[in-house]
Amino acid sequence: MQTPLPLLDGGIRVRVHDLEHPARHPPRRRVGQGDLARRCRGGDGRRRAAGQYQQSGRHDDRDHHTHAPAPSSRRPPVERLLPTLPMRTRRPPPPGEGDGGTHPPASPMLAIVTRTRRAHRRRWPFVIGGIVVAVGILAVVAIPLASAQLLLTPHHSLTTAAGSVQSVGEGEITLSRTDAGARPGTYGLTWSADDGPSGEAVVGPVLRSDETSITRVFAPTDGTPPVGAKVSLNPNMWTGDPGTALGLDFEHVEVAGELGAMPAWFVPGDGDTWVLFVHGIDGLRQSGLRPLTTIAEKNLPTLLITYRNDVGAPPSPNGLFSLGEREWRDLEAAADFALAQGAEKILLYGDSMGGSIVTRFMHESPHAERVVGMVLDAPVLDWSAVIAGQADRLHLGWFTPLVQAVVLWRGDLSLSTLDELDQTEVFDRLPVLLFQGLADPLVPHVDSERFARSLPDAQYVPVPGAGHIQSWNVDPEGYAQHLTTFLAPFAPSAAP
């Protein structure tokens, strides 16, 4: 049974559906009493009989109280009815009856809320997709920038955390187990206790280990660490100078560079062949203390230099490393110093980025003709390969081109210029000794081997188990033996 239409003022019935959807029925001109009178008369102005009213589908306005009016073909404007219309809605039929359980919204407000919820549900996939895209863009920008900044910014620390002290015995020390603490070889040990003084010592090979601890040979040089102190391994072995660390006579000197004075250690010797030692990126002059005893035994004058951005040396204009592309000028200043002090020939010794500085010096400096030999320890010969290797190690290999591009931009560099593997002709005339750790996580040992194999007078010394510039630490005796043999022709006693 159809629900009766509500009766409005004036006896006019209207469907609720029309009120809920007024936009479907555009406003019409309001019908007044004069209009009704004219409609009751025909186009000829005569009044029609009552039967004519029914035949024409219209009714007499005089009988609207006693006869139910037929729906008008011209409805009054809904907007004018709304202010006087009580908001009465049809009760929806129970589910499964009438219209099959579906019905229009009970009110305009409910319809709006429903449409809003549906719109929100449709919008969520786009919101989540936008967040994913934004995070991806941030990663693409942030990771290369952070990687380049980490590589090019000076930090001056090569020590590695190695756990804490569990016990100290006669000639041995037990540490909590860490990867660094389990490294093979001999290292410096430094500590700084919260309730005690700092100090340093030397730890030797691993004696025994289990799942929680590692025991190594221990030789105190500056006290004994207390139990619980956090310790670090120092591949440079010592933190002092040639005098305090090795008991060698030396002088503090300054080298005048294009950016200002740079401190250096000069260990005197005989003869006119000087050794110029160049440490690596973020390194210190103390890196040269490990081979210094062997060099001093050959009585060769030695200069352990610093360069721009080092501790005590002037910074570069942009405060960043140039990976050897500009640091070679500071090595040239050291060569000027040596030549001014009576040197005639130069032996270049470089580790890590120091190797890159040494090789770039050979391409750029007019003093390259004075060089009679090179010693390289884990030299960086191709920075593109080093960057790619570090990205792969961190499972970020697809970022490699972006990191390389940012390094070029931030450092104003040319990685192709720093690729020594494709420009080895300048080294053909030199004897070269190259040490390379086979466990080096920074410099690919295949690059070092390829470089050495391409030269007619190069000796390649791979050291199993050695990390970056740790060939001496893993095998001090073998390292010294190879170095002694290489230096022998340049020693003063060997001069004709």
379-424: pLDDT as tens digits: 999 988 888 887 777 676 677 788 778 877 887 888 888 899 999 9
- Residue 394 sits at φ, ψ, to 5 deg, of -95, 10
What letter would DSSP give residue 20?
A: H
Is the domain spanning 160-234 CATH 3.40.50.20? The answer is no
How far is CA 142 from each of CA 122, 125, 130, 133, 147, rounded to the nearest angstrom?
32, 25, 18, 14, 8
Please give the structure tokens belonging to residue 396: 């970020």
Reference 159, options 244, 227, 264, 230; nearest CA is 230
**Rounded-to-integer distance, Cα 216 and Cα 210, Å:** 12
Do 357 and 335 contact (CB within 8 A), yes or no? no
Per the model's pLDDT, the better-predicted residue between 270 and 150 turns out to be 270
- What pLDDT score was predicted for residue 19? 47
pLDDT of residue 27 exceeding 60: no
Which structure tokens are listed for 240? 């002092």
pLDDT band per the 50, 70, 90 thresholds, residue 474: very high
> How much is the average pLDDT of 365-370?
96
Burial class (CB in 10 A: 0-12, 13-18, 19+), 370: middle
Within 10 angstroms of residue 349's Cβ, the number of other Cβ atoms is: 28
Q: Give every strand in the sheet of 251-257, ordered side by side.
A: 251-257, 260-267, 302-304, 273-278, 345-351, 371-377, 432-437, 458-463
Q: CATH 3.40.50.1820: which residues of the chain? A: 242-382+418-494
H helices present in 75-107, as ranges:
78-81
Q: Which two tokens stand for residue 459?
A: 């000796």
d(CA 356, CA 372): 17
The per-residue pLDDT for 384 is: 87
Give the per-residue pLDDT at 75: 53
Tell me how far the alpha carbon of residue 72 is from its chain's centroid: 76
Q: Which of 81-85, 322-326, 454-458, 475-479 has the lowest mean pLDDT?
A: 81-85
The residue behind tokens 């920038």 is 145
Q: Write down the pLDDT at residue 408.
A: 78
Q: Which CATH architecture has domain 242-382+418-494?
A: 3-Layer(aba) Sandwich (3.40)
Residue 125 has pLDDT above 50, yes or no: yes
Chain region(s) in the chain for CATH 2.40.30.230? 160-234
Q: What percent of the chain has pLDDT over 70?
A: 68
Q: Which of 6-20, 220-234, 327-341, 363-377 has the lowest mean pLDDT?
A: 6-20
Q: At 212, is the secondary structure helix, strand, or coil?
A: coil
